[in-house]
Amino acid sequence: MWCIVEWRAGTSPHFAHLLALYGRLVPQEPLENVDYSLIVASLQPLLDLVEAFVGEAQRVSNSRAGLPSADCQMMADIANESEFVHEELMEEPIETIAMTATLSCVTGMESLASLVRLIVTGPPPPIFSADVLCRSSIDGSRPCWWLTEPGLPPTQRVQRIVAESLYSATEMGHVKSDVRIVARAESMRNRLTRYAAIHSWEIGPNKAIMSVGDQARPTVRQYLESEFGDPVAAHATWSHLSAVTHGTQYGLIQSIDMSSADGGVAIMGTSSDSLSARVEIAATTVAASTMRFFNYMGWTTIELTKLERDLATEIQRRSRDRIAGS
C-alpha cells in the first residue's frame, strides 16, 4: 500500500501543520503515474555493482579469517610498534587498530547492503529509511577510513586509535543508568589518559572532536568533504541525513518527494534521483573505507579493485546525468 497526503502549496512547515499533515495520511493504491518497478529498474545497474562489490569484499574477508598478508602495512606497523606497547595500558596497539577497523568496515558494508535490499524489496518505496541507512553507512565506515589511512607513521596511527578509544569511552560514560558501564568507561579513560601521558601526547579538551597528540578525530563532514571535495555539499548532506535520523521536522518534510504532486496530492515516497543519490553517497564512502582497510591488511584483489573502479565509474555517470538534466 502507498500513503498519500494532501499538500497545499505555500503552506509553511510549522509544527501544527506537520501534525495536521500526518493526520491526513490515508492508505491508498498507487497513483497511476507512479510505478516503483521503473524506479528500481533505473537504479539496477548501480545496485548490481554495489552488491557485487560488497559480496566480493565479504568473500575475501572471510577467506582471510582476519589474518593480514605477510607484506602488508599492518605487518610493517607491528614490526615497529615496540615503543608503543605497554603491558598494562595498551598491550597490542596495532592489533587494536585492526580490530576496530574491521568492526567499522563490517558496519559500513552491512548498512550499505541493507540500503540496497530496502530498495529492491519494495513497493512501497522507502520514505525516510533510505536516509537513515545512508547515514549509518557513512558514520559506521568513518573509523575504518581514518585508522587505515595509507602512509601514516606508527606514531600517528597509534594516536588515532587512542583518540578513537577515548571517544568510545566518552560515549559509554553517557549511560548513567548503569553504574557498571559508567565505571568501565571511567577505567578505560583513565588507562588511555595514562598511556598518552607516558608518550607525552596531549589530549584535546573537546570530547566531541577527540584529539591525541597532533591527530584529531575527523567529523563526518570532513570525511564527506575529503571524498567528495565539496564542503558545502558535505555540510548540507550530513545535516539532512542527521535531521531525518533524529526526527527533526525540517528533515522529515524535505524527504517527501513533491515531484509527482497531482491536484494538491503528493506521493509520500522517493524519486529515483533521490534514491540514487543516497546509494551513491553511501557506496562512495563505504568503498573508500573498505579499500583503505583491505590495502592496510594486504587483502586487495584484482577483482575487488575492478569492482570498485566500475562502481566509481557508474556513480560518476549518474552524477553527470543528473547535473545535465537539472
12-58 tens-digit pLDDT: 333 233 333 333 333 344 444 457 788 889 999 999 999 999 999 99
Cell numbers at 147, concatenated: 585508522
Question: Is the four-CA dihedral 316, 318, 322, 325 of positive or negative sign?
Answer: positive
pTM for the whole structure = 0.85
Listed residue (111, 143, 152) closest to 130, CA to CA: 111
50-102 pLDDT, tens digit per residue, is: 999 999 999 999 999 999 999 999 999 999 999 999 989 999 999 999 999 99
Whether 155 shows a pLDDT value over 80: the answer reads yes
% of residues, the chain, pLDDT over 90: 66
What value does the mean pLDDT take over residues 173-196? 94
100-123 pLDDT, tens digit per residue, is: 999 999 999 999 999 999 999 876
Whether 239 shows a pLDDT value over 80: the answer reads yes
Determine the Cα–Cα distance for residues 268 and 277; give it in Å rounded to an integer: 18
Q: Of the ranges 11-20, 164-173, 180-189, 291-300, which one carries the lowest mean pLDDT score?
A: 11-20
204-233 pLDDT, tens digit per residue, is: 987 778 999 999 999 999 999 999 888 888
Other beta carbons within 10 angstroms of residue 209's beta carbon come to 14
Amino acid at 193: T
Whether 9 shows a pLDDT value over 50: the answer reads no
Task: Please give the pLDDT value at position 270.
Answer: 65
296-317 pLDDT, tens digit per residue, is: 999 999 999 999 999 999 999 9
Q: State the average pLDDT for the chain.
A: 85
Determine the Cα–Cα distance for residues 150 and 288; give it in Å rounded to an integer: 12
CB 158 within 8 A of CB 133: no
Cell numbers at 213, concatenated: 597528540
Amino acid at 278: R
Report the DSSP beta bridge partners of residue 310.
none
The kind and range of the H/E element at 5 are: strand 2-6
What is the domain partition of the chain in residue ranges?
A: 37-229+272-325
Binning pLDDT at 50, 70 and 90, where does residue 6 land? very low
Question: Is the four-CA dihedral 184, 189, 192, 194 of positive or negative sign?
Answer: negative
Phi then psi for residue 6, to 5 deg, are: -70, 135
Task: Please give the pLDDT value at position 25.
Answer: 39
Q: In 262-301, where does DSSP find H-type helix?
A: 272-297
Q: Which residues contact 48 (CB under 8 A, 6 or more apart)?
A: none
Task: Please give the pLDDT value at position 83.
Answer: 93
CB 249 within 8 A of CB 13: yes
**Angle, helices 231-245/220-228, rounded to nearest 10 degrees:** 130
